[in-house]
Amino acid sequence: MNRAPLILVCPNTQRQGVEFSDDSISLSNCYTDAVIQAGGIPVIIPCTKSKKLVAEYVRRADGVLLTGGDDVQPKLYAPRISRALAKTVTETEPERDVMELQIVDEVFRQHKPLLAICRGHQILNVALGGTLIVDIATQVPKSINHRQMERKCDKVHEVTLTPDSLLAKITGRQMLGVNSTHHQSVDRLAKLLRITAKSSDGVVEAMELKNEGLLPYLLSVQFHPERLVKHHREFQPIFRSFVWSCASVGTKKI
C-alpha cells in the first residue's frame, strides 16, 4: 500500500456539545484508531444537508465508514407503528439520517468502498429500500439480549457466517463471538443485499452485496468491531481489507 487512503467517517450528532452546549458532532476514538491502525487516514464529515457538499466529500475520499449511534427514524422505513413500539424508540438524529442517505447514494454513484457498522448497517439497508425491526425484544420471539451496553468491548454472543461471504473469507471463521449494543435490526432486506451472518435468534448480523461488482467493497455488520479489534485479532482483517480496498481506489485517482 503505497498511499494511505482517506476514509470519510460519519459522526454522531449532539444537541448539547461539550464546548458551548450547542449542536455538535461526536465520535468515539475507537473508529478512527481502527482506521489508522489499518493504514488509513480518517476524515470526519460535519453534519450537513447539502447534497453538493456531501458529493464533494465522497469524491475526495477513497472510502466511507458509516458508524454507530442513535436510532434511525421509524418514519423512514415504517411510517405507521403502534404506540407501544413508538415508545421503544430512543433519541433519533434526523439531520444525520438525511446526510447518510445522501452519502449512501453517492457511494454507489461514485463507486467507492463502504464499511457500515451498527447504526450504519441499519441506515444502509433503509437507504437501499429495506426496513428495520423497531425493537427486537418486542418483535422477535425468544430473542437473545442484543442490548448489552455495559459490555461494549466484550464478546457476548456468537454469530454464524455464510461460508462464501467476504466476512468468512477475511476472518477465516465460520463463527464469530461479537459484542452487541443495539435494540433495532434489519427486517426486510434491501434487494441489492444478501445476509452473510446471523445470530441464533435470526437477527441479521452482517450483509454484503448480491452483485459484488456494484462497489469495490461493501461489508455491513451489526456489531462493533472497532471496540474488539485491539484484543481480538480476528477483527483486524475487517478494517485491513476495507482500507486496502480504499487504497486501491486512491491509486486509481492519482
Residues annotated catalytic, as ranges: 118, 224, 226
Cell output for 69: 449511534
Count CB atoms within 10 A of the CB of residue 227: 21
Q: How far apart are CA 102 and CA 106, in angstroms?
A: 6
- Annotate 115-155 with DSSP letters as a single string: EEETHHHHHHHHHTT--EES-HHHHSTT----B-GGGTTS-
Asked whether the CA dihedral 146, 147, 152, 156 is positive or negative, the reply is negative
Range 13-18, long-range pairs (CB < 8 A, 24+ positions): 13/47, 13/93, 13/95, 13/96
Nearest CA among 171, 230, 156, 154 for reference residue 206: 171
Q: How far apart are CA 142 and CA 200, in angstroms?
A: 10
